[in-house]
Amino acid sequence: MLLDTPSLYFRAFFGVPETVTAPDGTPVNAVRGLLDMIAVLVQTRSPERLVCTMDADWRPAFRVAALPSYKAHRVAEDGGDQTPDPLERQLPIIDAVLDAFGLAKVGVPGYEADDVIGTLATRAVADSSGPVDIVTGDRDLFQLVDERGPVQVLYTARGIRNLQVMGEKEVAAKYGIPGRGYADFATLRGDPSDGLPGVPGVGDKTAAALVSRFGSIQGILAAIDAGRTDGFPAGSRLKLEAARDYLATAQTVVRVVTDITIPEHDDRLPSAPRDPAAVVSLADQYNLDGPTNRLLAALAR
């Protein structure tokens, strides 16, 4: 099980009232919500291994160089991201609690959590090491679904207790594209949440038709270079030709990296915390008795 941890703690922060605080007034809504999410996932999915992936760099330089608009709308005045201050204050607490429990926590300098997930999921398929569940609220990770693993996304849009299981068949059914074609589909239609403009005039239906017909961005560009006119929805060929530079660079932004060097880590799911005294201390300090007890019980089972 690969957790898109930033996606989960952002969801927890906005889903649990900020009035949930520690005795000293420190906000802990994201911490509590994240721990409860992990407890539910462990209890309901019973993973043998679990990795909490992290953003070591939320806006990697290589993606910005390829597409300057990438997440540009999220850049704060000081050049950092726009993480709300009450959430920012909880990130060290999250780190400390995950470490105390002994849950694997992996981030790689210069890369996002998505890239850690992409590398570990791809490695699992190559090693035939068993099924992989990716837990995220980010549709970009649909590009990793792979029936050979199988690798599937547990999509959190409806909540952690109402997960949408998205494999190749589900992605194909929802978007009308080949199961692993989501990255090319997103490149064509765009994604405002990431500052990805897409090809002007190309919406969901046209993007799906193009990916289904040509298989990939490379296939589309090859058809254009060959002078083909068949298979292009009305008017789309000229739009694609005009957006050629964008198509050549946007894939660097949209596609997750699948071959980064991952630091050594122990991803075996523990049945008991690595540092029980630290768990008790953190629970006392930050009013976390309920969620830590629920996670302890889930791990013990």
Q: How far apart are CA 158 and CA 58, in angstroms?
A: 24
Answer yes or no: do 95 and 14 share one domain.
yes
pTM: 0.95
Domain tally for the chain? 2
Q: How far is CA 11 from CA 58, 65, 133, 157, in A?
A: 16, 29, 18, 9
Q: Are 202 and 188 in contact (CB under 8 A)?
A: yes
Bridge partners (DSSP) listed for residue 175: none
H or E stretch covering 38: helix 29-45
* Residue 201 belongs to a domain: yes
What is the pLDDT at residue 80?
A: 78
Answer yes or no: do 56 and 158 share one domain.
yes
Answer yes or no: do 141 and 243 share one domain.
no
Answer yes or no: do 248 and 260 share one domain.
no
What is the pLDDT at residue 184?
A: 96
The enclosing domain of 230 has a CATH number of 1.10.150.20
Answer yes or no: do 70 and 112 share one domain.
yes
Q: What is the pLDDT along the chain (301 residues), one digit of tens a residue?
A: 999 999 999 999 999 999 999 999 999 999 999 999 999 999 999 999 999 999 999 999 999 999 999 999 888 877 778 899 999 999 999 999 999 999 999 999 999 999 999 999 999 999 999 999 999 999 999 999 999 999 999 999 999 999 999 999 999 999 999 999 999 999 999 998 888 999 999 999 999 999 999 999 999 999 999 999 999 999 999 999 999 999 989 989 999 999 999 999 999 999 999 999 999 999 999 999 999 999 999 999 9
* Residue 175 belongs to a domain: no
Answer yes or no: do 207 and 84 share one domain.
no
| pLDDT tens track for 107-132 | 999 999 999 999 999 999 999 999 99
H or E stretch covering 30: helix 29-45
* Residue 274 belongs to a domain: yes
Give me the domain span that covers residue 192.
182-254
Answer yes or no: do 87 and 44 share one domain.
yes
Q: How far apart are CA 80 and CA 129, in angstroms?
A: 38
